Amino acid sequence: MDLENPATGEVTGPALGSSPTEVDEALAAADALGAWTAPAGERATVCESIAAAVAAAAPEIVALESRATGVPIRQTTGLGMILGGAFALAAGQLRAGILTSTATREDGREVLVERLPWGPAACLVPWNAPAPMASHKVANALAAGCPAILKPSEYAPYGTERLAEVIDAALRAAGTPPALFQLLHGGAEVGARIVSDPRIRAVSFTGGLGGGRAVAAACAYDIKPVQLELGGNNALIALPDADEDAVARAAADLLTTLNGQWCRALGRLIVPAGREEAIASLVMARINDLRTGDPSDEATDYGPLIHSGHRATVVKARDDLGGTLFESSLTGPGNTLAPALVVGADPARTTGEIFGPVAAVHGYSSIDEAVALANGTRYGLEGYVFGTDEEAALAVAKRVRAGEVKVNGSSIMSLHLFTPRPAWGISGYSEEGTAETLRFFTNPRVVGVENGFALHSRS
């Protein structure tokens, strides 16, 4: 496929791709290494050196991300703190001894529980925020001692390409084995070659449902552990006492962050019956105050979608919902698409993921109906509940079937740095998180001296 400049629609060149020979060479090198057996403290020191190098290169990386994805530079810069931060967090977890523990028996003997690396790991990241997600996965794979093979989406290879150069240079300076970290490029075919190869012992994938199902199926054959963060159709419930301006602000943010192209974006706005059109109008009024333009301009709030093909897919999905379209007046360069809400669509037609700046608005007559609408999808990634009475809002939030539910907030950041980032239903499998992802790349081994008890002892 041809890559595009999202801000102009102009073709910038072909997507990058690794040949089958290069893929096999990478797999063979990782397999020959097997694991990085350096002590945890030494691995932490190396991760800290990578953190410093990546943080220094962050301005260059986030600029490449903005140009490739169309996401405004202010947003990619904000996410840029994850680049070096992921490696620093992984190092901190190692120094805290997260991979080793002991259990003491009644006879006073200790049993050692140590978490050891699975072996070569594949890290596959999507195109909406590839470098931050790559940093999170690769940092934890390396901290665990797993040789890591990174494959970014073919739509946005350049930020991760620069990130990989920085990681590689830091690893070489530290004298680590050359095959500890490798980068491969390409589309689904390259991803399938990597994931299905038995030399890969663990797979961490973030992307769409179709890709996630293919990855899960490939991993099932070899019974290899897989971590899947997939899509979402995320509901925002506005309770009867909710501040409608706060609801409109949150809905506008959820529709336009990363230009609406993120898995935790707004899918369904659920409001008291009779208020659907009024609240939709409030949301559009707030969005209309945003500034469009070149994603590399610090003044730009909302940018173009990544590719003309993806824009066409989002428009078709929007039009297929039916109902009444409430569209913002935003216009902009290249692949810019005006954010929109659809009122009056059949709820059964609004349960999928659009992955763009489009959401449905549904009215409810009771709290039970609101919760049923929120849970009326097979996805279960994120939820949002707004209400003046926090206790009542928390009670509703506890009924929403999603991995994380935020009350009176819609930030792209998690509620807490050290809580897991789980998913329900088809939104994913195997929780992510500061500690959880590091543990994912390992498997426990228990070692100790037997206490001599046997069920059928003859002695």
Write out the catalytic residue numbers.
Answer: 229
Asked if residues 381 and 254 have their Cβ atoms less than 8 Å apart, the reply is: no
Q: Torsion angle, CA of 53/134/26/1, rounded to 10 degrees?
A: -120
Spatial distance between the Cα atoms of 17 and 310, rounded to a whole number of angstroms: 20
Q: 3-state DSSP call for residue 184?
A: coil
Residue holding tokens 């990597």? Answer: 194
- Pair of tokens at residue 130: 């590839």
Report CA 62 to chain centroid distance, whole Å.
Answer: 17
Spatial distance between the Cα atoms of 311 and 332, rounded to a whole number of angstroms: 13
Q: Torsion angle, CA of 75/79/80/82, rounded to 10 degrees?
A: 180
Helix H or strand E segment including 306? none
Spatial distance between the Cα atoms of 260 and 159, rounded to a whole number of angstroms: 20
Angstrom CA distances, 128 to 62, 79, 101, stand at 12, 11, 38
Q: Any alpha helices (H) in 38-80, and if so which ranges? A: 40-69, 73-79
Spatial distance between the Cα atoms of 112 and 187, rounded to a whole number of angstroms: 43
Asked if residues 264 and 415 have their Cβ atoms less than 8 Å apart, the reply is: no
Spatial distance between the Cα atoms of 301 and 222, rounded to a whole number of angstroms: 45
Spatial distance between the Cα atoms of 254 and 328, rounded to a whole number of angstroms: 14
What is the side-by-side strand order in the sheet with 100-104?
A: 100-104, 110-117, 442-447
Spatial distance between the Cα atoms of 112 and 447, rounded to a whole number of angstroms: 5
DSSP-derived pairing of the beta strands 226-229 and 202-206: parallel
Q: 3-state DSSP call for residue 348?
A: helix
